[in-house]
Amino acid sequence: MLPNYEGKYDAEALFSPEDALSAQGEGLPEVPPAVILGYQQELTDAVEGRADTEVDIVRSQRLLQITDTVGYVPVHEVGIGAPVTATVTENVIAGGAEAVAMVGGSACLQRDVGPETAILPTETIRDEGVSYHYVPGDEPVTPDSELVDSLAASLSEEDFETARGRTWTTSAMYRETVPELEHYSKGGVVSLCMETAAIWAVCQYRGVSAATVHEIGDYITPGEWTPETEATRGLPEMLDPAIEGLHRHVTSARD
């Protein structure tokens, strides 16, 4: 069970995200209060067409300012998975983010969930390594329920069906085994990705709101993988309601 060093949770880190971001000599970047983390080029393309400002976070990490309250980081430009995502999440929080939401593709483990459904996970199975360095393994890692509600409401207003339930976060894409899929699909787990547990754990540790919006990129169930869906609306169409849901959340939190 991670972490290997038992006294980790009460120990001070050698250096902080603020130290890393300030090391480039320009101080901390100005990050809006809400940040969307993106992992698919099609969503980044949709953001590029409307963002009017680009913020250099650190090294090759950049943030596209969409509105006064919401920015977007194309995480896929620097990598995928839990470790990269945790680092990016730490960096945007250090820059001032108060709410962080993943909006990205996932595999769906329930074939009765329609292909255009926006999945809003409420629990995660922690099958990666990062989250255990922030939150002990016997404690739950969860999203901000009010942010989830806000995103669900804005998605519903744009006529998206929504589904809630557990998601499975794993770092081993090619070791998603048949017995595991049988176990989790029968247990009602709705989606699968590589990042959610890491985002939520970092945000939980830092006292920041977190949530995930999953588009169904494929269906994966025991003995059958469907790599393409029949959806005509996906991540680009989820962008506006995600922006609105985040905007409502951070502005209401300040009122």
**What is the percent of the chain with per-residue pLDDT over 70, rounded to a whole number?**
99
For residue 160, give Cα distances in angstroms to 27, 40, 119, 183, 187: 41, 19, 10, 28, 25
226 located within any domain = yes
Dihedrals phi, psi of 124, to nearest 5 degrees: -135, 140
> Which of 197, 182, 177, 45 has the alpha carbon at shortest distance from 106?
197
150 located within any domain = yes
Mean pLDDT (the chain, rounded)? 95
pLDDT at residue 1, as a whole number: 77
7 located within any domain = no
> Which of 233, 218, 231 has the alpha carbon at shortest distance from 105?
218
What's the burial of 4, exposed, middle or buried (CB within 10 Å: 0-12/13-18/19+)?
exposed
Question: Residue 204 — pLDDT band, cuts 50, 70, 90?
Answer: very high
235-254 and 145-157 helices cross at what angle (nearest 10)?
130
Q: How far apart are CA 148 and CA 125, in angstroms?
A: 18
Q: How far apart are CA 179 and CA 223, in angstroms?
A: 10
- pLDDT tens by residue, 217-237: 999 988 889 998 988 999 999
Say yes or no to pLDDT of 85 above 90.
yes
Say yes or no to pLDDT of 25 above 70.
no
Question: Residue 35 — pLDDT band, cuts 50, 70, 90?
Answer: very high
Cβ-proximal residues to 35 (8 Å cutoff; 6+ apart), any chain: 63, 70, 71, 72, 73, 92, 97, 99, 100, 101
CATH of the domain at 82: 3.40.50.1580
Residue whose token pair is 């009602």: 188
- Tokens matching residue 21: 């971001």
Number of residues that this document lists for the chain = 255
- Tokens matching residue 232: 């005509």
pLDDT at residue 74, as a whole number: 97
Q: Mean per-residue pLDDT for 163-172?
A: 97
Q: What is the DSSP letter of 164?
A: E
Residue whose token pair is 């953001």: 47
Say yes or no to pLDDT of 144 above 70.
yes
Q: Mean per-residue pLDDT for 110-139?
A: 97
4 located within any domain = no
5 located within any domain = no
What's the burial of 83, exposed, middle or buried (CB within 10 Å: 0-12/13-18/19+)?
middle
Q: Which domain holds residue 213?
A: 13-254
Q: Mean per-residue pLDDT for 94-100?
A: 96
pLDDT at residue 223, as a whole number: 83
Q: Mean per-residue pLDDT for 188-213?
A: 98
Q: Mean per-residue pLDDT for 5-15?
A: 90
3 located within any domain = no
Please count the structural domains in the chain.
1
69 located within any domain = yes
Say yes or no to pLDDT of 59 above 90.
no
**What is the percent of the chain with per-residue pLDDT over 90, rounded to a whole number?**
86
